[in-house]
Structure 1
């Protein structure tokens, strides 16, 4: 058995089971107007996961709709997790309620093999009067898929085992749609594509999916081994005996954790949440994170686990009562590759934004949708580069500085793609010139920009010289910039080059 083997246990339709409904009842658990789980009776009527609620109701008018309560699901699932830790394996992680993962190497040796481990895991869940299936593979993704089939994937066989599956199992609707347009319908076909080409065309998320399709973990671990500097703690003085304040603190701690990880440029694959009790005990639970859990999702999971511990009497098992410290510790840190955030409110997820961008690119061309990348430079236009959406920024230039002559704040609101012809004159109506020693021939009194009329100068600042690549005749450039405020309320960023004035930008 390989060092990285993973066992996954799966309880089918667990969100439905957590609602406490009858097995024969047609039930759908929904979140944000989409079905996240449904009962067997609902599936028989044509209801499916990820289906919009109105479509599900049209297929099954008698469908009972239940809004998802993640904290309640965690509270229902926690006794199962504790039972597994006590009878099958000492340490596991919760991917989501109803789905757990754990290293298979140690437990499989104890139970006599991977098949025996899977059988024991299923038997332990069955002891809690719940259905279960288990799978073993080299990666978490493949093992979770194998659990749905109740299979063990051979060592090193993740890629060929995944190959016949449709690309939709990767869980990325935008990528799936694009691949199908390209004639790529199976995971094996996708895995056969060159890795560098996938990265260049589909970005970091596509590259992660390509690693998954190739039988590798989606996020390669970084060399950084310690995450203590990213750990967030919240102390209670005196010890807190009510769960609501602790759940509220978990949300604040999760916010702080995400800010710290973002500032460090990393994401965590797993998150350990723990509480230190007044009697000296420490209780912990590990959740699968992979950079996908928002602060609220973390808080809901913590709240559900705390409620389960309280219902079981675990929190009050010792002498003194109360929680003295809450700890969130990220594990398995890797570099953050970045994601497009939601632009139109919480109802529009990043996946929807990416899908919309891909459709626009398909209709108008690859350059039609771009993202902004900040780089080095002295002028406002030089510091911003527009990269086609989905492409890798291969020419990233960070503003390492110093940049002599860089434009000071405030920065302009509008930067023109092509400079506008401008004139700067003194009181006598003569053009204002700039000497090689940066001396103005006269104070500017009037400014005129093509298409915007002429106005008196109310104030000015500069000039700021820019001498770039003087050692190379072709790209060498010698200019100077000035900020000019007109009496008409307009303000301009002017550039003088070869004795001629131009308007580079406008201040709003």
Structure 2
């Protein structure tokens, strides 16, 4: 429901937010804002620049440029693909920070939010004072260059933030009733530039282009057109856009409903040194975490565990579960991560499972859901869960007793050699194989990382179908020609003679058919680890198919096709 009178609105605009989001997620940049990104960065979508850093702008990069034009102006430009999920993820805690000081925030899009100005103005002693208070709170979090606009209606307030502010004066207030006069000299193109608002959703680009061809270049010129004529020519869409141009934005600010606080944390004073003590202290918190999800009919299938040491060191990991986490499973993951961190801190890590390693007592443990699902999808069946559910419970119990790597399951990883692709991962990490991308959060390993490795290009890898029997240790063989001389492959990949016999474990097998060679070249830049070999497929007189490898003058059997 809309109000006929525009509501006094306060809009916060974060210029080039995609660049800021990249900086905040970079780790090394911490909470640095877009203005603090020293290296020139451009965010590109559909081959056009949608955001760029201040250092890139100095070099002549601008929004709307083609990618190659931007790179021509700034050869050292770092190009990053646009990612709406990344922008949203980085902006969520910023909105939560604003809501702590001024409730009722509407998230327009990442980098732009609006709220009713009346409440904050009363509390902080004026509209401009409220805006400066919010900018100061954001500045304390490392967010520089934020602009604030206050006007009648969110559209006019957004234009005030964009067109009326500067680095020296980041707050601009349009007096009540002065929206039409403020908007009048602005270009008609702002109706299209305000992407994500009513203009963007209504497809203002065609209308703006038509108005420009008709000689209407400003919002004031559009607002002077009679509403009846606008309706006849452009329909209701044109009438809504004309109302925006005239400062009659009747859309209310619609505050979002803050999401429930699902994460839980426990602080220890003094810090705890023993893993079992930390795990015991986490029991009540784990129960509360599961109950909080259950209250909104959700279950956690991926859990993020963050450990903070007494000296400030951190460990972070995302744990997976084949079903859903209950309280004992959460406590187990905290204990396992602590156990692996001891190895990471003392001996460089245990399988690379956790980021860093704690070298002091545990001061804080934070658990948060990385992925949730509807509880109805995990409800027990009417007549039991069947064999799969019983297997899951049995393996989970064994894993709880033996530790994270006490139960391993095989998955196919990446690589050129078949033995390398057989990887054992802990029970529960297998769900990540179904992900489209293996790039997960920091510290995540297991099948998710293996999926990423498998998706990489591996020149020289064996195409499907793969052999069914792969030897853990290659079996030494000889491949000889009819005259008995050993067959080999020269540097140009030419076979010295036609393979006629395969000698394996003293048994001589006649070769009925063969194919190859296919070169496999690895680490040519590293003399110590460089490897150059050739693969062959052969079929002997018994009909058995072999995958052979010729490396120098040595032959081995890598696998067989059963």
Could you say which TM-score interval applies, normalised by the shorter chain?
A: 0.3 to 0.5
Larger Rg: 2
Higher relative contact order (CA 8 A, sep 6+): 1
Q: Under a length normalisation based on structure 1, what TM-score does the superposition of the two structures give?
A: 0.44
Q: Under a length normalisation based on structure 2, what TM-score does the superposition of the two structures give?
A: 0.40
